[in-house]
DNA sequence: CATGAGGTGAAGATAATTTTTCAGAGAAAT
DNA sequence: ATTTCTCTGAAAAATTATCTTCACCTCATG
């Protein structure tokens, strides 16, 4: 019964409808399903029929009343809007539906979908462009948990371009690094809840020095965002006592891919040089 | 090009919102825009706030009342539905189809799907059970790039349970750590291509000492897998010169969630103690 | 042309939604 | 510790939507 939509039912029963009802059905189908979302009065006016006609039609379709009809329209819409992949019930096929692997993955996919839907592409590209600019030095800062993300980012950027520094915010020596920050430099900050005070201070001071700040944070946005030129807000909710960094990592890797592409000639040279160094290291290791 | 949708406005003004309003905004954005289509009461209940809160929020956004707000939501929806590209195979809606964000995300989703489909649940659970066993010490080892993943895992496990050690494989002091490894202990190894020789050696020696080895690797499997009791093979291909660690992180977080659940009483106590220590740290920080 | 059956919409009755009011809770400041 | 302020949701009030009734209309049929 729920397999066929209201639109289908309207068309199937079209012959059994009266003149005004057909006029109404036409109007609904014309711009389905948004046309059926207003109040019963709005719908009636759009179709140029009276409200009782609308009420009678939805009853003919088997609904108790207009609100019930509209509820089903909304359900249909939701099914249609939400991306098809998000409806994957079981990801790990060999696991039961409620297994942590499936629940977790389900949540992560949702996070990805929502985060990406809200991202501003111009901002993304502005950030990548700044990171690819060889005239700007790059500093990377993480917090207690996010230091792993910061490290991951640093490892890649270090290969992609020169003048990249990882500020180990754990140490209380970070003010030393600030000495190096010049106007126009880029400071990439990771601050996901529990936001850290020292990170905020660092951002404030970097901003004062005229640095461009790129922030990776969660949907609730760290206070650092006041100073940020580019702000990536990642959804982090998962069925766990911990927050998920998967979406942050996804964006991070996208940024890396984009920057590396903008910078390809430079990156290429650096990667080759790195390879060569590894080869020589390995050569020596053989004999140890 | 962002035409100032309500979603945009909600995000832009997020800071100026109060607690309950943020909660509401979150709920609306969670399943936007269908979430905003019911009655004001429905919307309020979904977000677990009161109706006046909803009314106040929409007024903050500049609408005269909820109906006016909803009318605009419907308009947006209509524009979105009727737009020629109603197909939802783009993830970042504001980006062109071939944008790196969309290509990258597409690849990552594919990786997740493939990896999860192949995972063996019993193996997963065996690994988690071992990690939750307090009688076994846990050692974590990463490589050049994967050290960030190892660090992330270590950070969480350290809170969840006692006797967790991070072996910094970069240092050549890792043999020192091996002295500590006893029979039945768990060694978690990250080895994603370019596989590292020292990692392989470490695995071999740990196996000899009777340690249980859990390996995170890629689809081509590091040679370490010969010694591994549990082997997670993650798809890593993305449109980039680099490999993606997103799937590895996803599995990692799933493992963390599972272990933490098995160990909840212990974890709980440790997390509380940690919170308390942070509170005291923050107290002191106030005066610095 | 008369008649009646079924269809339609105006208008009022009913039910609901939305808005307003207000008191208590909680945070920030003194 | 106390005061002040803002925020929040319960409940009442206002508004609006939905439903019901009924008179009128159309059109097929005798």
Domain of B26, CATH number, reads 1.10.10.10
Residues B63 and B137 in one domain: no
Do residue A137 and residue A245 come from a single domain?
yes
**CB contact (8 A) between residue B148 and residue A156:** no
Q: Give me the A residues in range 189-228 that sit within 7 A (CB) of strand C.
A: none
- Tell me the two tokens of residue A190: 């990771």
Q: Which parts of chain B have pLDDT scores under 50?
A: 1-2, 85-86, 283-288
Task: State pLDDT tens for residues A203-252.
Answer: 999 999 999 999 999 988 888 988 999 999 999 999 998 999 999 999 99
Query: Is A214 found in the same domain as A183?
Result: yes
Q: What is the DSSP letter of B226?
A: G
Residue B283 lies in a domain: no
Residues 6+ away with beta carbon under 8 Å from A79: A87
Nearest-neighbour CA in chain B from A155: distance (Å): 7
Q: CATH number, domain at B114? A: 3.40.50.10490
Distance CA B67, CA A134 (A): 52
Structure confidence at residue B152 (pLDDT): 97
Nearest nucleotide by C1' position to the A18 CA atom = C7
Contact B116 A104 (CB under 8 A): no
Encoding tokens for residue B248?
């590895």
Q: Is strand D less than 7 A from the beta carbon of B52?
A: yes
Write out chain A in H/E/C secondary structure.
CCCCCHHHHHHHCHHHCCHHHHHHHHHHHHCCCHHHCCCHHHHHHHHCCCHHHHHHHHHHCCCCCHHHHHHHHHHHHHHHHCCHHHHCCCCCCCCCCCCHHHHHHHHHHHHHHHHHHHCCHHHHHHHHHHHHCCCCCEEEECCCCCHHHHHHHHHHHHHHCCCEEEECCCCCCHHHHHCCCCCCCEEEEECCCCCCHHHHHHHHHHHHCCCEEEEEEECCCCHHHHHCCEEEEECCCCCCCCCCCHHHHHHHHHHHHHHHHHCHHHHHHHHHHHHHHHHHHHHHHCCC
Residues A93 and A216 in one domain: no
The residue in chain A having the minimum alpha-carbon distance to the alpha carbon of residue B196 is A282
Which residues touch A73 (CB under 8 Å, ≥6 apart)? A6, A33, A36, A37
Lowest mean pLDDT among A88-92, A107-111, A122-126: A88-92
Beta-carbon separation of A84 and B88 below 8 A: yes
The nearest CA of chain A is from the CA of B243 a distance in Å of: 9
Q: Are residues B172 and B52 in the same domain?
A: no
**Chain B partners of A31 at a C-beta cutoff of 8 Å?**
78, 82
The answer to whether the Cα torsion of B7, B12, B14, B16 is positive or negative is negative
A:126-145 residues touching chain B, CB 8 A cutoff: 144-145
Q: Tell whether B248 is covered by a domain.
A: yes
* Domain presence at residue A133: yes
Per-residue pLDDT at B279? 65
What's the pLDDT score for residue B282?
55
What average pLDDT does range A79-94 have in this prediction?
Answer: 72
Query: In this complex, do B246 and A253 lie within 8 Å of one another by their Cβ atoms?
Result: yes
Asked whether residue A260 is assigned to any structural domain, the reply reads yes
Q: What pLDDT does residue A279 have?
A: 74
Asked if residue A253 belongs to a domain, the reply is yes
Domain around B69 = 6-82
Name which of A85-89, A276-280, B128-132 the model is least confident about: A85-89
Q: What's the mean pLDDT in A107-136?
A: 93
Mean pLDDT is lowest, of A24-33, A172-181, B268-277, for B268-277
Q: Is the peptide bond before A194 cis (omega within 30 degrees of 0)?
A: yes
Domain match, B164 and B271 both:
yes
φ, ψ of residue A189 to 5 degrees: the values are -115, 135
What average pLDDT does the structure give for chain B? 88
Q: Do residues A167 and A111 both lie within one domain?
A: no
Chain A residues whose beta carbon lies within 8 Å of the beta carbon of residue B147: 151, 155
> A132 and A251: one domain?
yes
Compute the distance between CA of residue B213 and CA of residue B198 in angstroms, rounded to an integer.
15
- What is the nearest CA distance from B93 to chain A, expressed in angstroms? 5
Distance CA B270, CA B288 (A): 27
């Amino acid at each position: 019964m729920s397999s066929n939509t209201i639109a289908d039912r309207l068309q199937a029963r079209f012959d059994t409808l009266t003149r005004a009802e057909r006029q109404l059905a036409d109007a609904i189908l014309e711009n389905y399903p948004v046309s059926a979302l207003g109040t019963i009065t709005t719908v009636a006016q759009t179709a140029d029929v009276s409200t009782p006609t609308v009420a009678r039609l939805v009853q003919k379709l088997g609904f108790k009343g207009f609100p019930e009809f509209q509820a089903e329209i909304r359900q249909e819409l939701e099914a249609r809007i939400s991306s098809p992949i998000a409806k994957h019930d079981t990801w790990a096929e060999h696991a039961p539906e409620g297994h942590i692997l499936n629940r977790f993955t389900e949540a992560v996919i949702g996070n990805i979908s929502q985060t990406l839907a809200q991202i501003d592409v111009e901002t993304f590209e502005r950030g990548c462009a700044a990171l690819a600019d060889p005239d700007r030095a790059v500093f990377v800062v993480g917090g207690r948990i996010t230091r792993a993300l910061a490290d991951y980012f640093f490892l890649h950027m270090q290969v992609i371009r020169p003048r990249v520094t990882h500020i180990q915010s754990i140490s209380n020596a970070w003010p030393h690094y600030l000495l190096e920050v010049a106007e126009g430099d880029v400071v990439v900050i990771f601050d996901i809840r529990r936001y850290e005070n020292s990170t905020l201070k660092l951002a404030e001071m970097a901003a004062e020095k005229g640095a461009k700040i790129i922030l990776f944070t969660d949907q609730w946005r760290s206070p650092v965002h006041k100073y940020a030129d580019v702000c990536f807000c990642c959804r982090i909710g998962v069925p766990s006592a911990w927050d998920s960094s998967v979406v942050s990592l996804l964006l991070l890797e996208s940024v890396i891919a984009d920057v590396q592409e903008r910078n390809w000639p430079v990156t290429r040279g650096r990667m080759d040089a790195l390879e060569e160094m590894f080869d020589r290291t390995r050569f020596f290791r053989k004999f140890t």
